[in-house]
C-alpha cells in the first residue's frame, strides 16, 4: 500500500507553458496527475515555482519543481513507507519537507502533483472511484451523490482575453435542467448561438476565443457582454432556464484605492476610476437588470472593507471569494468572521495539497457557505476536479467553455460519473446549498 516509485516530468498546459506532471507507482499500478496554472493569481496563493531562466520558455520553465519531486519529495515519500490511503499523513510529510507557509521552497506545483497522484493511488488501492475516495477522506455524505451545475465561461475579458472589457469572466449555468447531461447540452447550445451572434454583430474575429474557451469580442462594458449573452439564451430557447454569473477579477484593475475599468488602455483617466460605492452601485444595477446568480471577486484581494460593505448591502446574489481567500483556511476564517462573502472558490493549486483543499471546503461548508470548485486558466487534460466536486458534494463547478479539450475533459468526466451512478441528484437551482441538499 506504499509508494515504490515517484517520477516527475514537465508537460505543457493549455497556454503552451510548461507545468508539472507526477507519476506515483504502487503495487496497483502507476497513477498520474498534472498541475494547472493561473494567470490572474492572488498574492496570497501558495507559490508556483518557476525557473526564471529567461533563455527557456520566457522564464516560465518548471525544471526546478520537477527536480524537487524527483530528488527530494519522491525519495522521501518512498522511504517513509506511508500508506497511499492515508492522504493526510502523506500531505503532512510533503509540507514538512517544504517547511514554509506558502510552499515557496519546493513549490506548490511540485507538492500538489505528488498529492494528487497519491490520491489516485489511494482510490485504486481501495478499489473505488476517485470521487468515492475523496468523499471518504472528507467525510462527505455519499447517498446520494450530487452532480454540480456547470458554470461555463462563455465570454472572456480581463486578463484572459484581448480587447477592452475589464471584467474577466461571464458564465452561464443551466440551473433549470433535470440532469448534468441536460445542463451541458443547454449550455453548449447557448454557447454556439453566442458565438454566431458575436461574429454577426462584431465581425468574424469576435468568434476567436480567450484562455478558457469563451468568445472574446472587443467589448467595453459589462452591459454589452450581458446583453449579448441574454440574447443568446433567448435565441437558444432557454430564457429563464439558463442563468448568468460574473467573475470581475477586480484585483487586476484596483489602483490607488479605486477601480479602473479602463485599465487596459494606456490613456486611462484617474478621474474616471470608481470608488467602492460607485462600483457597488454598478453591481446592484447589473443584478437588477440581468439574471445573475453570483458575482466573483467584486473587489480586490486585500480590500476587506469593500467586501464587507458590499456583502452587507444585500446585493441579491451569491458573493464568491477567490483572490480574497485563495483557498487558505486562515483567510477563509477571517472572511467568515467578518461576513465578507458567502461562497468559496475552491482551487487546489492555491493551497497545494489534497488534504488542505478538503479542509478549506469543510470549513466553508460548515459555515453555511457555498463551495464553487474551479479550474485554472492554464489548464490540462487532468480531470481531478470533476471527481473532487462530486466527492465533496458542493453542487457547483466552473471549468470554462464547452470547447477546448482541457475544459471539456472535466465535463466529459462528469458525464461518465453521472452515467455510472445512475441514482444521483443534479444540484440545479439549489446549487448554492451544496452538501445540504
> Which residues belong to the active site?
212, 347
Evaluate whether 394 touches 436 at the Cβ level (below 8 Å). Answer: no
Is 396 among the annotated ligand-binding positions? no
Burial of 29 (0-12, 13-18, 19+ CB in 10 A): exposed
Q: Is 192 annotated among the ligand-binding residues?
A: no
Q: Which residues contact 127 (CB under 8 A, 6 or more apart)?
A: none
Q: Residue 52 burial (CB < 10 Å; 0-12/13-18/19+)? A: exposed
**Interacting residues of 402 by C-beta distance below 8 A, sequence separation 6+:** 152, 184, 187, 188, 191, 213, 408, 411
Contact criterion met (CB below 8 Å) for 385 and 374: yes
Residues near 303 by beta carbon (within 8 Å), at least 6 away in sequence:
254, 276
Which DSSP symbol is given to 166?
-
Q: How far is 71 from 140, CA to CA, in rounded Å?
A: 35
Q: Any idea what the Cα angle at residue 313 is, between residues 309 and 317, rounded to 5°? A: 115
Coil, strand, or helix at residue 293? strand
DSSP per residue, 336-351: HHTT--SEEEE-HHHH
> 389 and 145 in contact (C-beta within 8 Å)?
no
312 burial level (CB within 10 Å; 0-12, 13-18, 19+): exposed
Q: Is 51 annotated as a binding residue?
A: no
- Residue 285 marked ligand-binding: no
**Would the annotation count 169 as a binding residue?**
yes
**In the block, which residue shows the cell 507519476?**
23
Instruction: Determine the Cα–Cα distance for residues 218 and 156; give it in Å rounded to an integer.
Output: 10
Judge whether 232 is annotated as a binding position. Answer: no
| Cα dist from 288 to 37, 217, 228, 281, 308, whole Å | 34, 24, 17, 11, 20
* Residue 374 annotated in ligand binding: yes
Closest CA to 157 of 144, 170, 168: 168
Residue 140 near residue 22 (C-beta atoms within 8 A): no
277 annotated among ligand-binding-site residues: no
Q: From CA 294, how far away is CA 283, in angstroms rounded?
A: 11
Is 363 one of the annotated binding-site residues? no
Distance (Å, whole) CA 2 – CA 379? 29
- The span from the CA of 34 to the CA of 45, in Å, is 18
160 annotated ligand binder: yes
Q: How far is CA 422 from the centre of its chain?
A: 26
**Residues at the annotated binding site?**
160, 169, 247, 296, 322, 374-377, 398
The annotated binding site for Mg(2+) is made up of 247, 296, 322
Summarize the annotated binding site for substrate as residue ranges: 160, 169, 296, 322, 374-377, 398
Amino acid at each position: 500500500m506504499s509508494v515504490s516509485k515517484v517520477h516527475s516530468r514537465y508537460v505543457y498546459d493549455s497556454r503552451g507553458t510548461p507545468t508539472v506532471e507526477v507519476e506515483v507507482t504502487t503495487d496497483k499500478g502507476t497513477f498520474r496527475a498534472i498541475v494547472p496554472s493561473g494567470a490572474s493569481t492572488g498574492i496570497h496563493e501558495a507559490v508556483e515555482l518557476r525557473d526564471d531562466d529567461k533563455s527557456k520558455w520566457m522564464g516560465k520553465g518548471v525544471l526546478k519543481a520537477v527536480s524537487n519531486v524527483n530528488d527530494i519529495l519522491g525519495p522521501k515519500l518512498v522511504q517513509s513507507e506511508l500508506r497511499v490511503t492515508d492522504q493526510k499523513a502523506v500531505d503532512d510529510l510533503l509540507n514538512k519537507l517544504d517547511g514554509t507557509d506558502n510552499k515557496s521552497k519546493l513549490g506548490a506545483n511540485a507538492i500538489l502533483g505528488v498529492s494528487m497522484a497519491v490520491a489516485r493511488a489511494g482510490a485504486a488501492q481501495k478499489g473505488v472511484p476517485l470521487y468515492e475516495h475523496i468523499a471518504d477522506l472528507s467525510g462527505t455524505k455519499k447517498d446520494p451523490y450530487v452532480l454540480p451545475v456547470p458554470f461555463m465561461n462563455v465570454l472572456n475579458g480581463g486578463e484572459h482575453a484581448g480587447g477592452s472589457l475589464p471584467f474577466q469572466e461571464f458564465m452561464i449555468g443551466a440551473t433549470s435542467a433535470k440532469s448534468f447531461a441536460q445542463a451541458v447540452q443547454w449550455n453548449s447550445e447557448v454557447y454556439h448561438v453566442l458565438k454566431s451572434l458575436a461574429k454577426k454583430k462584431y465581425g468574424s474575429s469576435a468568434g476567436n476565443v480567450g484562455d478558457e474557451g469563451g468568445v472574446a469580442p472587443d467589448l467595453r462594458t459589462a452591459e454589452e457582454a450581458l446583453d449579448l449573452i441574454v440574447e443568446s439564451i433567448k435565441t437558444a430557447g432557454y430564457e429563464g432556464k439558463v442563468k448568468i454569473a460574473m467573475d470581475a477579477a477586480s484585483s487586476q484593475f484596483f489602483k490607488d484605492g479605486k477601480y479602473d475599468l479602463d485599465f487596459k488602455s494606456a490613456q486611462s483617466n484617474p478621474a474616471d476610476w470608481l470608488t467602492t460605492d460607485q462600483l457597488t452601485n454598478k453591481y446592484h444595477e447589473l443584478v437588477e437588470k440581468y439574471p445573475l446568480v453570483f458575482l466573483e471577486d467584486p473587489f480586490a484581494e486585500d480590500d476587506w472593507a469593500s467586501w464587507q460593505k458590499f456583502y452587507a448591502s444585500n446585493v441579491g446574489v451569491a458573493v464568491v471569494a477567490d483572490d480574497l481567500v485563495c483557498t487558505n483556511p486562515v483567510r477563509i476564517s477571517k472572511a467568515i468572521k467578518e461576513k465578507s462573502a458567502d461562497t468559496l472558490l475552491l482551487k487546489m493549486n492555491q493551497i497545494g495539497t489534497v488534504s488542505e483543499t478538503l479542509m478549506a471546503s469543510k470549513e466553508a461548508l460548515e459555515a453555511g457557505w457555498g463551495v464553487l470548485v474551479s479550474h485554472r486558466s492554464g489548464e490540462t487534460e487532468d480531470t481531478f476536479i470533476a471527481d473532487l466536486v462530486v466527492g465533496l458534494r458542493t453542487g457547483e463547478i466552473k471549468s470554462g467553455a464547452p470547447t477546448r479539450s482541457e475544459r471539456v475533459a472535466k465535463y466529459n468526466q462528469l458525464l461518465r460519473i453521472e452515467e455510472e451512478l445512475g441514482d444521483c441528484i443534479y444540484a440545479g437551482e439549489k446549487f448554492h446549498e451544496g452538501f445540504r441538499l
